[in-house]
Amino acid sequence: MIRYISEADVTATLDVATAIDLLDDACRALAAGTAAIAPRQRIASEGVSMNLMGGALAGRVGHKCYPVARPRRARFWVTLFGNDATMLALIEADALGQIRTGAASGLATRVLARADAHVAAVVGTGWQARTQLEAVCRVRPIERAYAYGRDPARARTFCDEMTALLHIPVEPANDVASMLAQAQVAITMTTASEPVLFGAQLLPGTHVNAAGSNRPTAEEIDADVVRQAAIVAVENVAQAKVESGDLLGAERAGAFDWSSAVLLSDIVAGKAPGRTSDDQITLFESLGVGLWDIAAANYIYDRCVESGRGREVDLPG
């Protein structure tokens, strides 16, 4: 028997604050050598592509897969296996991915942003941007936030919804530069192919979460952001070398060398230093790794078993 876990089960079980701590634990396990990441692989045929990524943690292994075919958007699935190779769960993972992606930025903010950061700015007002801003607010004393999006009506809706959720004023910005002139934490969560955030716009001491791009041809931030960053944190170097358009672009511009990349897990575990000055600019280049999905899936599965959520399905053989 396996447990089929729906989107409703996921959202009833996992929240952003919990996910931040789950990823913290996963980082410490990765730094200790007791967890593993399988970088994303992409395969394609005749208009459809499949994305696969995996991880191992706490005696369980699993993978996330998501096929993509236009005009339909991707659907995400996580499959979880126990230490005897028994399949434990099949999890609908749209919300899981949204929560864990935000949580990764929250964790990076917790270890890299100034302790007194109180203004956040987010470029992008879509579905994924919501957990990005929420996660930052869970780890820093954010008093107000600004959001910029290409569609003013959508940006206003985003701000209204986030104001209600976070109980702080979240206001739409007319442009990116004006909101960055006030922010100590900056977030990009867009589908842009060309930079939407520039190093010249950043205040000293800003922490940047660049979270929207995982394609080598897409850059959300310009090379000057990377050049200024005292710390460039990544989840997995091998995956970043293939997927991070931001860092690949900076490398081409002579503004970045891969030897300076630092693993987020090493910073979390104390194996590498974090911020050492209030004036430093720091950067988290978020691509998403399978270990985050398995950390979240482990927790969701255990809570669903305890509470009786999900549906048991018999697989013959």
Of all helices (H) and strands (E), which one includes residue 231? strand 229-234
Q: pLDDT tens, 117-156?
A: 999 999 999 999 999 999 999 999 999 999 999 999 999 9
What is the domain range of residue 240? 113-288
Counts of helices then strands in the chain (DSSP H, E): 11, 15
308 and 248 fall within a common domain: no
Whether 128 is covered by a domain: the verdict is yes
Hey, is 15 helix, strand or coil? Answer: coil
pLDDT average, residue stretch 282-297? 98
Query: Residue 73: pLDDT above 80?
Result: no
CA dist., res. 42 & res. 53, Å (int)? 9
Q: Which of 54, 71, 51 is nearest to 63 (CA)?
A: 54
157 and 231 fall within a common domain: yes
Q: pLDDT tens, 18-70?
A: 999 999 999 999 999 999 999 999 998 888 999 999 999 999 999 999 998 87
- Residue corresponding to tokens 């310009």: 222
226 and 299 fall within a common domain: no
CATH of the domain at 45: 3.30.1780.10
Report yes or no: 232 and 260 within 8 Å, Cβ to Cβ: yes
Query: Residue 317: pLDDT above 60?
Result: no
3-state per-residue secondary structure call for 89-147: EEEECHHHHHHHHHHHHHHHHHHHCCCCCCEEEEECCCHHHHHHHHHHHHHCCCCEEEE
Report yes or no: 231 and 280 within 8 Å, Cβ to Cβ: yes
Q: pLDDT tens, 223-258?
A: 999 999 999 999 999 999 999 999 999 999 999 999
Hey, is 85 helix, strand or coil? Answer: coil
301 and 279 fall within a common domain: no
Whether 31 is covered by a domain: the verdict is yes
